């Protein structure tokens, strides 16, 4: 079985996307033998009221019987926006959402914001994983309307604010017994010994979509085979590189049992399906 | 379910949650009413189906490891160059440094002539030494040129080098970029790029001045705005691009085919081996188009100069 833990439908306002509806994503899944996709609505990154995006996703998933059994929706929740607690309740109990995605960078709050900590605790209490993107797009080709990644007034020295793994460590430290899915890891997985121990103890998954996953065999040795899962970051990133990083590994790097964990086993564990 | 079998039966579980959209409970052993045949996709088989030449590589400190990675992805040959990139001033980027860098390529090609295609680098500020270095590198088996950010490709300082390379029917291959902040458009932010980096419009200017010269615009997946680049480069049929770089956005290859045509695109990785292959495989390109991008286009362009690498 192949379970993709990182996909979207919806629009990215600065660039046209292909395959950004459930129907188009399902075509991709069928073409490339992907059984199930965890999906969220990109529009929720940009709507102030993210619940509208969750409702859009629900309606789209209801619109075609072929979608049944093929998608696992995750809700986008903004914990500094009014009504998020009710939104979370509705998403779980009425809309069938099995996890949440959060966007501290786009929704403009710190990862130690009390509201965010409360949201992660609420997710933990419900057994819901919390998915966090290290980055959505490569900031080097960002739109001038995208979130700022430069320190104003600085010249010559490149001071990117694109996230690294260390940026999400504080929320894991705050709620170490929550479930986390860290996706599109693009700027390395450098952590100190204390952070490594924290991550190893946590119920956490990194998806294979980000460019920092290219040396997956070494990462498995460092973090453990239970910490990684197949993800594409579709439709923003190409559909096959996240998959290729798993299947490229030879037997000495990852045996078949390990690959099965990465293809779906670890994802099924963290989503509780 | 095994991914190894040719065909598999996907069981769409219709024992649904309250919403009717969630796969409920366990994945197996559930009641089913909906079954669908899906052809199993074997990604490694797809990878190995295509012959490949990587048109954007650099010599690794561990050449054997580099070749092993290439083998596992079906990459037969890698075009390697070793530009001077220390940016610490003219002296450090002078002829001695250039020769030292080219020697690394020469040695790699001599050691693995069947796996590496060697390109030399220059600093065109040093006119006399550059022409001498071209001769030395050609005598040592290198067959093309890779420029970096010392001088823009449309700077008149470059003209003698371009003319010599044209005489030798060699590809003029440049490190390039286009993004917010360093040029091309919206000169608003300084993101640390070097001011003499060749932009898409710089290459267009040179390509128009030298319409019989083959130019290679490096790594459209290298972080620059690939839509901007492809639209700008469209007008010059003597400019080719490679797909290399770490940004593997879904639409890069398809957009390049649409705007540049299937014959002006080389497969490249710039060290991003796996997603270099993945982004081409994932594109809408037909089987024939993928063959061209992965292999034929680069072979054919080199052949035009009398350099047979296939």
> Residue ranges of the domains in chain A?
3-271
- Residue B289 pLDDT greater than 80, yes or no: yes
B57 — alpha (psi -120 to 50), left (phi > 0) or beta? beta
**In Å, how far is A18's CA from the nearest CA of chain B?**
7
Q: Is the ipTM of this complex over 0.90?
A: yes
The verdict on a CB contact (< 8 Å) between A214 and B44 is no
Question: DSSP states of A169-225 as a string?
Answer: HHHHHHSTTSEEEEE---S-----HHHHHHHHHSEEEEES-SGGGGGHHHHHHHH-G
- pLDDT tens digits, A18-47: 999 999 999 999 999 999 999 999 999 999
Residue A241 has pLDDT above 60, yes or no: yes
Round the average pLDDT of chain B to a whole number and report it.
86
Contact A39, A8 (CB under 8 A): yes
What local confidence, expressed as pLDDT, does residue B39 receive?
62
Closest B-chain CA to A29: B38
What confidence score (pLDDT) does residue B60 get?
97
CA-nearest residue to B37 within chain A is A30
All residues of chain A having their beta carbon less than 8 Å from the beta carbon of residue B181 are: 150
Q: Is B13's pLDDT higher than 50?
A: no
Please give the angle made by the CA atoms of B116, B121 and B124, to the nearest 5 degrees: 165
Is residue A111 within 8 A of residue A170, CB to CB? The reply is: yes
Of A36, A235, A239, Cβ closest to residue B23: A36
**pLDDT value at B5 more than 60:** no
Question: Could you tell me which chain A residue has the CA closest to the CA of B281?
Answer: A240
Confidence band of B28 (pLDDT split at 50, 70, 90): very low
pLDDT per residue as tens digits for the range B161-198: 999 999 999 999 999 887 665 444 454 555 566 778 89
Domain ranges for chain B: 7-39, 43-304
pLDDT over 80 at A109, yes or no: yes
User: pLDDT class for A143, splitting at 50, 70, 90?
Assistant: confident
First to last CA, chain B: 40
Q: What is the mean pLDDT of residues A213-241?
A: 97
Among B20, B223, B283, beta carbon nearest to A141: B223
Chain B hits for A19, Cβ within 8 Å: 250
Contact B36, B10 (CB under 8 A): yes
Is B250's CB within 8 Å of A237's CB? yes
Cross-chain residue pair B275–A244, CB shorter than 8 Å: yes
Would you state the pLDDT for residue A227?
98
For residue B166, what pLDDT is reported? 98
- Do B12 and A268 lie within an 8 Å CB cutoff? no
Mean of pLDDT values over B34-44? 71
| Cross-chain CB nearest to B44 (options A16, A17, A247) | A247
User: Are B179 and A140 in contact (CB < 8 Å)?
Assistant: yes
| Among A151-155, B18-22, B136-140, B187-191, the least confident range | B18-22
Give me the pLDDT at residue B23, please: 43
Q: Residue A141 is nearest to which of B10, B34, B225, comparing CB atoms?
A: B225
Contacts A61 to B, Cβ<8 Å: 19, 21
Q: Are the Cβ atoms of B41 and A32 closer than 8 angstroms?
A: yes
**What is the DSSP pairing of strand A3-9 with strand B52-57?**
unpaired
Closest residue of B to A17, CA-based? B251
Alpha-carbon distance B172 to B165, whole Å?
Answer: 7
Instruction: Identify the CA nearest to B158 among candidates B211, B103, B202.
Output: B202
Q: How confident is the model at residue A157 (pLDDT cuts 50, 70, 90)?
A: very low
Of A154-163, B31-40, B157-166, where does mean pLDDT reach its minimum?
Answer: B31-40
The whole-angstrom distance between B39's CA and the closest CA on chain A is 7
Q: What is the pLDDT of residue A142?
A: 80
Going from the C-alpha of B282 to that of each of B38, B71, B102, B234, B273, the distances in angstroms are 18, 20, 35, 23, 14
Cross-chain Cβ contact B12/A70 below 8 Å: yes
Query: CATH classification of B43-304, choosing from 3.20.20.140, 3.30.1490.20, 3.40.50.720, 3.90.1640.10?
Result: 3.20.20.140
Strand partners, A205: A181
Q: Which of B156, B179, B160 is nearest to B168 (CA)?
A: B160
pLDDT at residue number A145: 85
Choose which CATH entry (3.30.70.260, 3.90.78.10, 2.60.40.10, 3.20.20.140) describes domain A3-271: 3.20.20.140
CB contact under 8 A, A150 and B16: no
Cβ distance B247 to A138 less than 8 Å, yes or no, reads yes
Q: Are A243 and B251 an interchain contact pair (Cβ–Cβ within 8 Å)?
A: no
């Amino acid at each position: 079985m192949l379970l993709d833990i990182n996909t979207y439908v919806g629009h990215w306002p600065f660039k046209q996307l292909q395959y950004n509806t459930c129907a188009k994503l399902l075509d991709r899944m069928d073409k490339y033998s992907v059984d199930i996709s965890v999906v969220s609505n990109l529009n929720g990154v940009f709507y102030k009221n993210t619940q509208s995006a969750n409702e859009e996703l629900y309606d789209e998933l209801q619109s075609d019987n072929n979608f049944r059994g093929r998608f696992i929706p995750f809700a986008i929740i903004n914990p500094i926006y009014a009504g998020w607690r009710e939104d979370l309740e509705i998403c779980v109990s009425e809309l069938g959402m099995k996890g949440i995605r959060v966007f501290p960078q786009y929704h403009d709050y710190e990862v130690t914001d009390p509201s965010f900590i409360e949201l992660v605790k609420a997710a933990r209490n419900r057994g819901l994983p919390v998915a966090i993107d290290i980055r959505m797009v490569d900031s080097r080709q960002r739109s001038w309307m995208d979130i700022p990644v430069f320190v104003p007034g600085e010249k010559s020295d490149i001071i990117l604010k694109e996230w690294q793994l260390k940026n999400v460590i504080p929320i894991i430290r705050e709620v170490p017994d929550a479930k986390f899915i860290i996706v599109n890891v693009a700027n390395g997985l450098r952590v100190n010994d204390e952070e490594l121990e924290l991550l190893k103890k946590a119920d956490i998954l990194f998806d294979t979509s980000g460019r920092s996953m290219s040396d997956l065999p070494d990462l498995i040795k460092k973090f453990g085979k239970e910490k990684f899962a197949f993800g594409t970051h579709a439709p923003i990133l190409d559909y096959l590189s996240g998959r290729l990083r798993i299947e490229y590994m030879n037997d000495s790097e990852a045996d078949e049992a390990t690959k099965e964990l990465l293809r779906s086993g670890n994802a099924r564990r963290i989503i509780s399906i | 379910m095994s991914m190894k079998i040719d065909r598999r039966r996907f069981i769409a579980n219709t024992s649904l949650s309250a919403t009717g959209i969630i796969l409920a409970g366990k994945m197996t052993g559930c009641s089913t009413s909906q079954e669908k045949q899906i052809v199993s996709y074997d990604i490694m088989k797809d990878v190995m189906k295509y012959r490949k030449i990587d048109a954007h590589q650099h010599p690794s400190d561990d050449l054997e490891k580099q070749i092993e990675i290439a083998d596992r992805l079906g990459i037969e040959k890698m075009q390697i160059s070793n530009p001077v990139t220390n940016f610490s001033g003219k002296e450090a980027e002078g002829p001695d440094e250039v020769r030292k860098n080219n020697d690394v390529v020469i040695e790699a090609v001599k050691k693995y002539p069947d796996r590496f295609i060697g390109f030399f680098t220059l600093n065109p500020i040093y006119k006399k030494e550059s022409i001498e270095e071209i001769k030395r590198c050609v005598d040592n088996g290198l067959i093309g040129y890779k420029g970096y950010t010392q001088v823009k490709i449309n700077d008149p300082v470059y003209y003698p080098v371009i003319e010599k390379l044209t005489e030798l029917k060699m590809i003029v291959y440049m490190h390039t970029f286009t993004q917010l902040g360093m040029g091309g458009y919206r000169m608003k932010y300084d993101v640390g790029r070097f001011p003499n980096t060749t932009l898409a419009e710089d290459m267009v200017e040179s390509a128009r001045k030298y319409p019989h010269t083959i130019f290679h615009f490096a790594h459209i997946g290298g972080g620059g705005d690939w839509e901007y680049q492809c639209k700008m480069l469209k007008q010059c049929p003597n400019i080719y691009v490679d797909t290399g770089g770490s940004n593997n956005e879904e639409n890069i290859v398809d957009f390049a085919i649409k705007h540049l045509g299937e014959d002006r695109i080389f497969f490249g990785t710039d060290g991003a081996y796996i997603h270099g292959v993945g982004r081409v495989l994932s594109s809408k390109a037909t089987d024939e188009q993928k063959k061209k991008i992965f292999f034929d286009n680069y072979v054919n362009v080199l052949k035009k100069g009398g350099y047979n690498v296939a």
